[in-house]
Structure 1
Amino acid sequence: MQIIPAIDLKDGYAVRLKQGDMQSAKIYDKNPLNLCATFADLGAEYLHIVDLDGAIAGKPKNRVIIEQICKNSQLKIEVGGGIRNEETIKSYLDIGVSRLILGSIALQKVDFALAMAEKYPIVIGIDAKDGKVAINGWGDTQSVLAEEFAKEFLGSKIEAIVCTDISRDGMLGGININFTQAIARASGVFTIASGGLSSMEDLQILEENEIKAVIVGKAFYERKIDLQKAFEKFRVS
């Protein structure tokens, strides 16, 4: 299993939200570079970064700190939040980002997302409220069903889908297994579970349900999970 620690950036700080509510932001580190070093020491290979301000603004807002992270870390870094055009994709790749997450723009312009995946390492973010896709920092819920949207990527060149049940994000209530499996089946794409991981037991449940990747956020920050032990036990062989 790929266990991918996450850093959500707001005003340059590492924070976590509850159910995507920006007003619920809790600061965990004012220097995210500290976290990158910690994750590397614990055994991480990948790092998931979300520019929360960028997701709402529709353009990067925390690029400076992301560039610093890239320069000072050997982790493979994926970035999402506010990526709406090819210029932004190329600029992130130029500073060392390994792959880019397209969310809002992928729903609004599927053909663009598919075309970018032909040229660049692209991940699609599918975030849902009550089964329907939410965009623009999760502030706008659309009428499109997440499972139907996932079907757009059958046979495409995208590298993965990150799927999040927003109702569980930051709540430490466990991953929505059924939702994750439905997205994987509909898309035929490697699917990364996100939103709600709370314990080592949750990781065991994911493994038993053949979910091969998961993002870890609040469970780490609130010391609900020992990441070093998690990497040792569930590392992809």
Structure 2
Amino acid sequence: MAPQGPVPPGGRRRGVLFDVDGTLIDSSYIHTVAWWGAFRQQGYDIPMAAIHHHVGMGGDRLVDSLLPEGRDRSLDPEVMASHGALYASHWPSLRAFDGARDLLARCHAGGLAVALASSARRKDLDVMKSILDADAFIDGATSANDAKNSKPAPDILVAALEAIGVQAADAVYIGDAVWDMKAAAALGIPAIAVTCGGTGAGELREAGAVEVYEGPRELLRNLSSSVLGRLLAGTEGPG
């Protein structure tokens, strides 16, 4: 059910969608190490650089992209389960990026509906939400079960928009991976990229990012000149 709250004079709710892993939480390289370990448990030696490049995809797509086509695919669920267990062992090490909570608070205070458009497992998302300590500023959140197809398909963004009652034309998306940018582009949503997840600015721009910042804090510092700032200031969409 979409949250109830102030609707701008134009009559359409405006909103911002946030990726979580690598965007608000410093977890991209932990995912990389966890996938590396999971692959090795099944006898696959996949370079970490190749794995990191695919982090941000759904786990099913990541496995399919990195493992040989002729493998025994019946073992894929074991690989994904191993990744989940290895990642969970690092929960105590997870930290929010500087400015993450403040950015969520600023968006909420400015009247935007705020959604965490995450494709993480529900239990991983619960841990990350606890670390963010920002539930008062979050109007909706998605997890892996909310999308049939994972990124770069836009399904999880569609689910997040539905969760907060916002149309794509009235939203901005913030993410850290090439796959985030592609998912947003599929819906025509302007995508702001952050490099704190480990992907370079050039690659993110090539994938469709309209702006690139080092992380949440730098976006906050430049909010007035950002597409997000225009969304906060106006009653129409960000375009």
TM-score, with length taken from structure 2: 0.35
Higher helix share: 2
Between structure 1 and structure 2, the one with the greater Rg is 2
